Amino acid sequence: MEAPDLEVLRNAVAWMEQGHSVSLVTVAATWGSSPRPAGSLLALRADGRMAGSVSGGCVEEDLARRLREQLPTDGLPEIVRYGVSAEEARRFGLPCGGRLELITERISSIEPFRAIERAIDARTLIARRLCIASGEASLHAAGRDCDFSWDGRDMIKVFGPAWRLLVIGAGQVSRYLAQMALALDYDVIVCDPRVEYRDAWSVDGVEVDASMPDDAVAALACDARSAVIAVTHDPKLDDLALMEALVSAAFYVGALGSAVNNARRRERLALLGLPPAAVARLHGPVGLRIGSRTPPEIAVAILAEMIAVRRSMAPAPGSGGVRSPESIARERETAV
């Protein structure tokens, strides 16, 4: 779940527990320029208080008015469209050509949303299906292959824990990686059993774990909303984490190092008993090949590849990642 969606859900549950009437608005579809993607949520209280956004602030006030003045008599969900005409787009300040299709529903029961909260706290994915014709909503187990879908009849929204990044090693690359990942709303944990590295760590908002890397992966980053990146350059630490992460449900597993070093790493992992399919999941060299050289550039490349994997737009693992000038030189020496 994205952080804004989690905030919406928490607010909606709290308001319902306080006895307020709450409506949930979901972006079902967009055309052209649109400030918020499909699946974005807005919770509206009967008194006009709101959490979240479906348009970046363009249509929320009109939605609140609609829900106050035009309550559906049958209590069923409704489809609301904005920006269909140029006049309406100008009226609500939508970007040029932007159109929104929204689904509004009055929340009649709090228990399903408490169940969603429990699933999030347990770091599991859960899907809520809403039938527009009947208003019936149901909860189902969910996979990581789909966050949101809408076919004109049924809407499915997947809820789950915050995206988490576990970094093995508290070095310089880790610092930039952690800072940038925090800006992308990841929960960030840095694992390093080496006391001298932990003592030098100074990034606010990042949990530091002193466990051995395999224990940290098993306890903190083995679900479908987790990524694990090994950057210590010490096989004794990196390989421990990778052995656990590559057989877990983590959506992204990467390791810093040259192509030669990662080829050797794959050989070691295979000799240690990892199945070929697990070894093939490794992103190593890690990150998109964008010419990164400095630690902040390497962090950008790694996070860019993580985004691409989440959006199903990444190249296959092992097709080439970050390579420093030093690693390129070492590869050339090895080839001679």
For strand 126-131 and strand 207-209, is the pairing parallel, antiparallel, or unpaired? unpaired
- Which of the listed residues 103, 127, 159 is the one where a domain comes to its end? 159
Asked whether residue 133 falls in the same domain as residue 218, the answer is no
| Residue range of the domain that includes 203 | 164-335
Q: Can you give the pTM of this predicted structure?
A: 0.77
pLDDT computed for residue 317 by the predictor: 73
Q: Are 39 and 148 in contact (CB under 8 A)?
A: yes
Asked whether residue 122 falls in the same domain as residue 193, the answer is no
pLDDT computed for residue 323 by the predictor: 43
Asked whether residue 188 falls in the same domain as residue 145, the answer is no
Alpha carbons 301 and 304: distance in angstroms, whole number: 5
Phi (first) and psi of residue 137, to 5 degrees: -120, 140
Q: What is the pLDDT along the chain (336 residues), one digit of tens a residue?
A: 456 788 899 999 999 999 999 999 999 998 876 678 899 999 999 888 999 988 866 788 888 888 777 655 567 899 998 876 666 656 665 655 568 899 999 998 999 999 998 998 888 899 999 999 999 999 999 877 778 999 999 999 999 888 999 999 999 999 999 999 999 989 999 999 999 999 999 999 999 999 999 999 999 999 999 999 999 999 999 999 999 999 999 999 999 999 999 999 999 999 999 999 999 999 999 999 999 999 999 999 999 999 999 888 866 675 555 444 444 444 434 433
How many domains are contained in the chain? 2
- Reference 83, options 36, 124, 120, 44; nearest CA is 36
Asked whether residue 254 falls in the same domain as residue 154, the answer is no
- Which of the listed residues 159, 187, 208 is the one where a domain comes to its end? 159
CATH code, domain with 275: 3.40.50.720
pLDDT computed for residue 37 by the predictor: 86
Planar angle of CA 197, 320, 315, nearest 5 degrees: 110
pLDDT computed for residue 335 by the predictor: 36
- Reference 116, options 228, 24, 188, 18; nearest CA is 24
Alpha carbons 250 and 3: distance in angstroms, whole number: 19
Please report the sign of the dihedral spanned by the C-alpha atoms of residue 284, residue 289, residue 291, residue 296: negative
For strand 187-191 and strand 164-168, is the pairing parallel, antiparallel, or unpaired? parallel
pLDDT computed for residue 180 by the predictor: 97
Asked whether residue 103 falls in the same domain as residue 181, the answer is no
Asked whether residue 173 falls in the same domain as residue 38, the answer is no
For strand 22-31 and strand 226-230, is the pairing parallel, antiparallel, or unpaired? unpaired
Asked whether residue 267 falls in the same domain as residue 280, the answer is yes
Asked whether residue 262 falls in the same domain as residue 138, the answer is no
Phi (first) and psi of residue 91, to 5 degrees: -65, -40
Asked whether residue 152 falls in the same domain as residue 170, the answer is no
- Which of the listed residues 159, 174, 201 is the one where a domain comes to its end? 159
